[in-house]
A and B are shown apart, each in its own frame.
Chain A
Amino acid sequence: MKPCALSLRCRPWRGRDGFKSTERGGARVAQKLSLQQWIAQAEEKNLTFAMFCLQRQAADLETTEAAILARMEALLPVMRDSIQAGLQGHRSVGGLVGGDAAKMAAYGAECPGNSVVGPVLADAVTMALAVGEANASMGRIVAAPTAGSSGVLPAVLFALGKSRRLSNKQLAEGLLVAGAIGMVIASRATLSGAAGGCQAECGAAAAMAAGAAVDLCGGKPAQVGDAVAMALKNMLGLVCDPVAGLVEVPCVKRNAGAAAQALVAAEMALAGVTSVIPVDEVIDAMGSIGAALPAALRETARGGLADTPTGREWAKRLFAGKGEGNSTET
């Protein structure tokens, strides 16, 4: 068979990652975005980082600022529902997780004064586990940036929203800031665990949530950049080693850990702590660390926790059930 007699491309090529790319000497190079550049532009125009992102996105997507905010705001109820769904304690499809968010909520309700970390972080941990568990039980979630890391951003936003009485419009601005940060990470590094390990999923989610938190708490654009840099730095090197290849262990609890890293970084940035390594360079480092990770530690379930005796045992048990037991054949 002759594979192809004619092949025409008449528009800027879109890579697998969906980026518009430009042909350069035969190689297709995705356009790299710069968070530092955006931060400098926001400060120059004396805008909050959320307002800068809003103006930029409206221009990019050829729509109004109100339309962008409305679309972001429409995602909030989906996120809220996913928290509620997770708190029901449904068991996951693989059966490894479920019920931990409910335990956290019960502990908080029973003895609020006993929290080791205080109400904001306790709430964030509960919500991150809830979304992670909802995701693992085939519930509806907002991928942010991925399904496996979908608990981090809602946890940080709604925990702060509760303690600071933030409006839906403010939370939507937080989503916008987080999304803009995620776009930069995607363009300079990756948002895929298979390509870059968990640092690219939960790490990126922590960075996005940290930046959003700083902006929501009144931080300057430069402080947003520092929070992103510090959150991501504290997640560098994190491998993707899911037991039995499922988005359950350790993914759900890593969402809680990433939410904590986001809040820690936001707290430091708001206090004026700065990152020695500029944010774009931290993102680039995440990308090169991801590329250097062996394949066994990039979502293949062949290394790390997946390759522990217990991890292997779970995989064996789950795969042994193939074609029998609670059969899913129709």
Chain B
Amino acid sequence: MNIFDVIGPVMIGPSSSHTAGAVRLGNVARLILGEAVMEARIGLHGSFAETHRGHGTDRALVAGLLGWATDDLRIPNSFEFAETAGLAVTFSDINLGELAHPNSVRFNLIGQAGTRSDVTGASIGGGRVQVTRVDDFPVELTGDFATLLVTHHDQPGVISLVTAVLGQQGINIAQMRVSREQKGARALMVLETDQTVTDEALRAIAALPPVERARRIQID
């Protein structure tokens, strides 16, 4: 935490966890989808389900899906902007179980080119967020660092292919986590890096034969 986390952020009220954090969750979900969102089914769990209206959580989530920042004055009117942009949104209450954080949300997104992504995350306080699931993969993703998401076929040597590209580009890996649906099936690599993943590195990784999809997540 630095001094500008205490005096700041500049944000649209009324709640850092229910409003600013919700915008950020929308931002991260949009970046995980990797293209403009056209359809969003948003499931609200716990406190998000109970008090989303009074906190503007619903409008903040939509603002995040539109790619806006947490201090964007248009946030209270995000629904109207979504309609103009052709983004169709529906809300429902969901139950993610006792263990889920009370401020949790699940997005089922469909993008401009038809890409689908399911993203589950929580607003964990002070506007900070944590994504816990992407599609069928459990993840731990905060959006605080430059992050690379690589969906690939689970086979020996993929990790070294991906890390070799990053190494050649001078991109240092801070944290890394790999999970898979089952042995030999689809797998997801989440890499948090010290430097921004360049377009060149992203293209090179996406072109690797075992790689299905490579996405970059960076906020701010």
Contacts and interface: CB of A to CB of B under 8 A. Distances in A.
A16 B122 CA distance: 12
Contact of A8 (B12, B53, B176): B176
A35 B169 CA distance: 43
A179 B179 contact: no
Interface stretch (A102-110, A116-124, A186-194, A215-223): A186-194
Contacts of A24: none
Given A142-B8, A194-B125, A147 B56 contact: no
A246 interface: yes
Contacts of B88: 330
A322 B127 CA distance: 25
A139 to B, nearest CB: 6
Contact of B50 (A4, A19, A319): A319
Nearest to B142: A14
Contact of A191 (B56, B126, B182): B126
Interface residues of A, number: 71
Given A318-B54, A329-B90, A9 B82 contact: no
B14 A92 contact: yes
Contact of B13 (A141, A192, A322): A141
A330 B61 CA distance: 13
Interface stretch (B24-32, B72-80, B112-120, B195-203): B72-80
A137 B73 CA distance: 12
B104 interface: no
Contacts of A18: 1, 5, 126, 128, 144
B8 A144 contact: yes
B176 A330 contact: no
A103 to B, nearest CB: 20
Interface string A232-256: 0000000000001111100000000
A330 B16 contact: no
Nearest to A10: B174
A168 to B, nearest CB: 15
B180 A248 contact: no
A203 interface: no
Contacts of A114: none
B155 interface: no
Interface in A1-31: 1-11, 14, 16-19
A37 interface: no
A135 B136 contact: no
Interface centre among B16, B124, B175 (most CB of A within 10 A): B16
A144 B9 CA distance: 8
B175 A71 contact: no
A44 interface: no
Contacts of A175: 7
Interface in B20-70: 20, 47, 50-51, 53-56, 58-59, 62
Given A18-B144, A246-B51, 10 more contacts: A5-B179, A61-B2, A71-B4, A72-B7, A136-B14, A142-B7, A178-B7, A183-B1, A245-B50, A246-B54
17 contacts: A1-B180, A10-B174, A17-B125, A18-B144, A61-B3, A72-B7, A93-B54, A142-B9, A147-B14, A147-B20, A148-B15, A153-B7, A192-B126, A318-B53, A319-B50, A329-B91, A330-B62
